[in-house]
A and B are shown apart, each in its own frame.
Chain A
């Protein structure tokens, strides 16, 4: 199953924020986590994660700093900020509304 482009784009922000809410992370690990969470169904083009991260950084939802990876390479780490947590809560609420509405109609139809 392949997800539509718009849906993938729309879900990117809450997913990234939620993953960073768990702990500080970096691009590649975030992608791996997304793949694991969705059972491999949510496949992003790898590079596209970075503009999303940069947008969140500009909006102040995440903060970035350069560190060093285990193998000694320079690596950019991201962590969620207070504004990011507020944004995540708002997103959660919005997705719950969408989820409720869809469930309401789909579950009813299945039971009738």
Chain B
């Protein structure tokens, strides 16, 4: 063996060993570097004593000791490392550190921009709690989502085409949202406020996959995961923000100063906007570090929701009370279906597509079946009285959304049944769900663009 070839194989062995060590959570890069320095000294000494490199490496590794015992010792000394940290690793000499710092800088800048953006209309005399409130509601998504899309597009190194598309989409959204001046009691105002963020969230999704939603098959489910995690982070940040707000008010009240104008006018709205950016950054930073939370919650709530639905159906059968078709009933059933669709979607996002059908899959199918049955009862009741209602913008929107969700869940039930009977792969169910996703923003965009034209102002 030539010395050069020997060195190459030694380097390879050391690289292997380093990787093996680095996989242990209690040992971090600096520890591995320190141990490697030791190992190399030992190898050098043994080689100088006449051993060939393989033997020297073998003995040096043996002397280092049992790696399980060693990582236990490290874990005892650094127990905090077993709790995975969210913040970017300090890692001196870490090659990724400058990039991580650059990203942090951009995130902070965008978070500040988002906080300022929500205050820009106030410069023009539009106050949030006044006649300007409708303006804020209509444009809610437009303050922060373009910035979030910019962050994601930057991070994914999106091309010019993607940037152009995103710019056009947000500009068109801003145009449509403010094209009409709705009357104070118009149904269309809240409809626009409700649907525009859904349509815009799709644009965020395009930025997330780096442009080209339909080309990026593998990344689409990642966007679903991202959305769920962001929601959870947002709720957590909001809890902390609420606490901070309460504390601020209390402390200033103690010295006789009323800080409510600050909390209402600045702290809450600016914080709510910045939290979207910061939450997204946290999700991006930790996606490979910590177990995703949304699927865990899914597992927790699926059986509970099944129980609720079964109890509802049983009670309805027992008492014979029909579904009371009130104005809000459709909305309530829309929310129920959306919740079920979300639960099934997140369960699918965390499931190993190759695993065999299990108990939880049966539970999912039961959930979907119950939801479809409950919704069918509600729709039947509505259909009987549809003539009495007439078609208002609100009812058309709610009814159409119910149908869209119904089709989605019927497809899920179909593919789940096929999967449980081992006539189809789980991947087909996943494909159906992901393929169906753009229907929601498409409908939302339709509501925003076409409803004012159809139903007038």
Contacts and interface: CB of A to CB of B under 8 A. Distances in A.
A28 B38 contact: yes
A66 B34 CA distance: 9
Interface residues of B, number: 24
Contact of A28 (B41, B66, B78, B93): B41
Interface in A32-80: 45-48, 50-51, 54-55, 58, 66, 69, 73-76
A54 B37 contact: no
B121 interface: no
A14 interface: no
Contact of A26 (B37, B66, B92): B37
B37 A69 contact: yes
Given A28-B41, A50-B35, A66 B65 contact: no
Given A66-B92, A74-B93, A47 B76 contact: no
B65 A45 contact: yes
A47 to B, nearest CB: 4
Interface in B1-60: 30-31, 33-35, 37-38, 40-42
Contact of A51 (B38, B67, B74): B74
Contacts of A51: 70, 73-74, 76-77
Interface in B63-122: 63-67, 69-70, 73-74, 76-78, 92-93
Given A46-B63, A54-B78, A27 B34 contact: yes
A17 to B, nearest CB: 17
Counting chain B CB atoms within 10 Å of each CB, the highest count among A47, A50, A54 belongs to A47
Contacts of B41: 28
Which of A26, A46, A58 counts the most B-chain CB atoms under 10 A from its CB? A46
Contacts of A69: 37
B409 to A, nearest CB: 55
Query: Which range contains the number of A residues in contact with the other chain?
Result: 10 to 19
Contacts of A76: 30, 33-34, 37
Contacts of B33: 74, 76
Interface in B284-342: none
Contact of B64 (A45, A66, A73): A45
B37 A50 contact: no
Contacts of A54: 31, 74, 77-78
Contacts of B37: 26-28, 69, 73-76
A58 B77 CA distance: 9
Contacts of A74: 33, 37, 93
Contacts of A73: 37, 40
Nearest to B66: A45
Given A26-B37, A74-B33, A74-B37, A48 B76 contact: no
A76 B63 CA distance: 20
A48 B30 CA distance: 16
A26 B40 CA distance: 13
Question: Lowest 4 A-B CB distances belong to which pairs?
Answer: A45-B65, A51-B73, A28-B41, A47-B70
Given A46-B65, A66-B30, A74-B37, 14 more contacts: A28-B37, A28-B38, A31-B38, A46-B38, A47-B65, A50-B35, A51-B70, A54-B31, A54-B78, A73-B37, A73-B40, A74-B33, A76-B33, A76-B37
12 contacts: A27-B34, A27-B38, A28-B38, A45-B70, A46-B63, A47-B70, A50-B74, A51-B76, A54-B31, A66-B30, A66-B92, A73-B37
Interface of B: 30-31, 33-35, 37-38, 40-42, 63-67, 69-70, 73-74, 76-78, 92-93
